[in-house]
Amino acid sequence: SQQGEEDPQALSIQEGENATMNCSYKTSINNLQWYRQNSGRGLVHLILIRSNEREKHSGRLRVTLDTSKKSSSLLITASRAADTASYFCATPYSGGGADGLTFGKGTHLIIQP
Amino acid sequence: DTAVSQTPKYLVTQMGNDKSIKCEQNLGHDTMYWYKQDSKKFLKIMFSYNNKELIINETVPNRFSPKSPDKAHLNLHINSLELGDSAVYFCASSQLGYGYTFGSGTRLTVV
C-alpha cells in the first residue's frame, strides 16, 4: 500500500532559489529515502536517512526527518536548471519482507532559468 | 559500466501476446525488484527476489511472472498482454540498508 505522500505535487522556482519538498508517511519506519527521476529516465538514489537521524546533508541537498510527525523534507539549495526533475520519497514496504520500498507520487520540480 | 541494465528500452506489442523484459545487475546486490510506473508516475512494487527466493509479491495478475536464473538476473515475463499493462517497468537492485539502484526502464505499449 502507498506509504509516502509528497507535497507540493508541483513546484516552479527561479534558478538560484532554494526548493523545499515535504513527505509525510503513515507507519513507523527505520529509514526514509529520497530519489530523483529525470524525464524518461530511471530513479536515482539521493539520500537515505535512518530513523535515529534528524538531519543529513549531501552537497546542495539537506534532508530532515521528524519521526514524531512522520514527515521528512528535502531542501535543494542554490537550484540549477539541471535540478528539474521529479523527486520521490520512499519508505520501507509496509507489508513486511526484506527491504522493499513504497514510493509517494512525487514532486515535479521545475527550475526556471 | 551499467550497474542495472534492462532490455528492451521500448516494447510495442499487440494484445494477447507474451513478452519478456530482461534485467541484469553487476553490483553484487542480494535483492532485485520489478516496479511498474503508470502514466501518473506512480511507482508500485511488483516483485522482489532475494537469493532466488520470492519475498514480496504485490497483488499483480498471475500473467506476470518473475524468473531469476541467478543472483544477477531477474527477468519479467508477461502472458496475454492487456491494454492496461501499458506502463514503464523498472528493474532495481539493493543491498539491505542501502539505497536502490534502478535501471533506465522499459516502456511497454500494448496496442
Instruction: Check A98 against B96: CB less than 8 A apart.
Output: yes
Phi, psi for B85 (deg, rounded to 5): -80, -10
CB pairs under 8 A between A and B: 62
- Closest-CA residue of A relative to B93 is A100
Q: pLDDT of A93-109, one tens digit each?
A: 755 445 588 898 899 99
pLDDT of amino acid B95: 87
Residues of A contacting chain B (CB within 8 angstroms): 2, 31, 33, 35, 37, 40-45, 48, 86, 88, 90, 93, 95, 97-103, 105-106
Q: Is there a contact between B29 and B48 (Cβ–Cβ < 8 Å)?
A: no
**A102, A3 contact by CB (below 8 A):** yes
Residues of A in contact with B50 (CB under 8 A): 98
Please list every residue in chain B whose beta carbon sits closer than 8 Å to the beta carbon of residue A99: 31, 94, 96-97
Whole-angstrom distance, CA of residue A108 vs CA of residue B1: 29
Count CA atoms closer than 13 A to B20's CA, side-chain side.
10
Write the DSSP assignment of chain A as a string of letters. Answer: ----EEE-SEEEEETTS-EEEEEE-SS--SEEEEEEE-TTS-EEEEEEEETT-SEEEETTEEEEEETTTTEEEEEE-S--GGG-EEEEEEEE-TT-SSS-EEE---EEEEEE-
pLDDT means per 10 residues, chain A with 113 residues, are 76 96 91 94 95 96 96 97 96 65 92 93
Query: How many other CB atoms are there within 10 angstroms of residue A28's CB atom?
Result: 11
Tell me what pLDDT residue B1 has: 66
Q: What is the residue-level pLDDT of chain B in tens, covering all 111 positions? A: 679 999 999 999 999 999 999 999 999 998 999 999 999 889 988 988 987 788 777 778 889 999 998 889 999 999 999 999 999 999 999 987 789 999 999 999 999
Q: Cα distance from A79 to chain B (closest Cα, Å)?
A: 23
What pLDDT, on the 0 to 100 scale, is given for residue A3? 65
Q: Which set of grid coordinates corresponds to residue A54?
A: 534528524
**Å between B53 CA and nearest CA of chain A:** 11
- Closest by CA to B25, choosing from B106, B100, B87, is B100
B53 in contact with A at a CB cutoff of 8 Å? no
The residue among B10, B29, B43, B94 with the most chain A CBs within 10 A of its CB, best to mutate, is B43
Q: Which of A43, A99, A106 has its CB closest to that of B31?
A: A99
d(CA A22, CA A4): 10
CA-nearest residue of chain A to B33? A100
Residue written as grid cell 532495481: B92
Residue of B nearest to A6 (CA): B42
